[in-house]
């Protein structure tokens, strides 16, 4: 029982950190409308990876994997949307 709890704690800690790593970029882009420094290809690949990990999470019933990749895919998609919407232009 204690081992399962430890494993779950590691998984959920990784999930929180995995989600948190996208938030500053998304917030920065939303506030400034600046996207020049962001790689579209990186976030396209990140989104594909998140969707594949999400599929894996559902197939294996791995709740931390489902959690982090659901949110990561949404944040990554929002970054892709802003990258395409603002087209590398700086709005003063």
Q: pLDDT, tens digit, for every residue of 65-83?
A: 898 899 999 999 999 999 9
- Length of the chain in terms of residues written: 92
| Total domains present in the chain | 1
Q: pLDDT, tens digit, for every residue of 18-67?
A: 888 888 888 988 898 888 888 889 989 999 999 999 999 999 998 888 98
57: in domain: yes
Q: What is the CATH number of the domain that holds 12?
A: 1.20.1280.290
Phi then psi dihedrals of residue 21, to 5 deg: -70, -20
92: in domain: no
The answer to whether 40 touches 92, Cβ cutoff 8 Å, is no
Using a 10 angstrom Cβ sphere, with 0-12 exposed, 13-18 middle and 19 or more buried, the burial of residue 43 is buried
Task: Supply angle C-alpha 84, 73, 38, rounded to 5.
Answer: 40
* Host domain of residue 25: 2-86
76: in domain: yes
55: in domain: yes
Q: What is the largest CA-CA distance in the chain?
A: 56
């Amino acid at each position: 029982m204690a081992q399962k709890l430890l494993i779950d704690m590691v998984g959920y800690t990784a999930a929180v950190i995995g989600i948190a790593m996208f938030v500053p970029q998304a917030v920065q882009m939303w506030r400034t409308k600046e996207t020049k420094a962001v790689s579209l290809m990186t976030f396209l690949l990140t989104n594909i990876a998140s969707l594949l990990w999400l599929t894996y999470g559902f197939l294996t019933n791995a709740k931390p994997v489902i959690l982090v990749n659901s949110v990561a895919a949404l944040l990554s998609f929002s970054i892709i949307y802003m990258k395409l919407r603002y087209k590398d232009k700086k709005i003063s």
